[in-house]
Amino acid sequence: MGGRLAGRTVIVTGSGRNIGRAIALLFAAEGAAVAVNGHSDQAKVDAVVAEITAAGGRAIGVMADVSDPAQVRALVEETVRRLGPVDIAVSNVGRRLRQSFEEISIEDWTSTINHNLNSAFYLAHYVLPAMRQRGWGRVINISGYDGVTGHMAERAHNVTAKAGMHGLTKAIAREYGVHGVTCNTVFPGAIATVRDPAQYAHINREAVMDRLAIKHAGESEDIAEACLYLAADSGRFVTGQSIHVNGGEFMF
C-alpha cells in the first residue's frame, strides 16, 4: 500500500478500541504495517486486524499487558519477527480511576503508575536502541490533559502519571534527536470514546461543552490525525512537544 507511512512498521498499544483503534486504522491506511495490541479483549484486537487486512493492509494482533516489561519485550520481539523493525511506537494505555487521595492505596498508586507511565518507558526502552541504530524513529505518547491542567479532582495517581509522561517525552527527545528519532506527547481533550461511566459520573458535560471554543466533542480520529502528522515526514522537525487536541477548552 502507498501512503505517508509506506514501508513503516508501527506498534500501537491499547489499540483494540477508541483512540488506539483510530490510530491503528489510519496508520494502516497510510501504508504502515501495524501491530495491534490489547490486554484483555482478544475479539476487539482481532476485529481491528481484520478491518485492516480486509482493506489490503498488513496487521497482526499481539496480546500483552504493557504494565509488565517482560510482556512489552515480547510484544516488540513478535512485531519485529512478523512485520520488521519497529519505526513508530505509540503508547496509548491508561487507567483513569476516580479515587480521593485518601482512598488511593499503595497498590492502586503502583498499578496506575505502571499502566500510565511505566508502560511508556517500557515500550521506548525496547524500541529505541534499534531506532538509534537505523537513524530514524518516532515515539508518540498519548497522555491526558489533566496531567497539565490538574482540573480533574480525585485522580492524583493519573494526574501524576500523565504529567510524568511528558517529562519522559522531553528526555527522549533531547537524547535521541541527534539520532534522527523524534518523541512527542499528544494530549486528548474532550473526546467521544467508549468508557466506564462510573469513572465519569461526576463530570458536568454541559460545563465542559461551555468551555470548548469548538462546541462539540472531538472524535478519536482527531487524535489519530495529530499522530499521523507527527509520525510522517511532516513531523520531522517537531520533537519534545505537547500537542493539545482539545477543541480550545484549554489554551496554552
Write the single-letter amino acid at 230.
Answer: L
Quote the percentage of the chain above a pLDDT of 70. Answer: 96
Mean pLDDT, rounded, of the chain? 94
pLDDT category of residue 200 using cuts at 50, 70 and 90: low
Distance, in Å, from the CA atom of 215 to the CA atom of 250, rounded to the nearest integer, reads 13
Distance, in Å, from the CA atom of 78 to the CA atom of 181, rounded to the nearest integer, reads 22
Distance, in Å, from the CA atom of 18 to the CA atom of 2, rounded to the nearest integer, reads 25
What are the tens digits of pLDDT across the range 40-75? 999 999 999 999 999 999 999 999 999 999 999 999
* pLDDT for the residue 208: 81
* pLDDT for the residue 2: 81
Mean pLDDT of 13-25: 97
The domain 9-243 is placed in CATH, from the list 1.10.730.10, 3.20.110.10, 3.30.70.3420, 3.40.50.720, at: 3.40.50.720
More confident: 13 or 208: 13
* pLDDT for the residue 239: 98
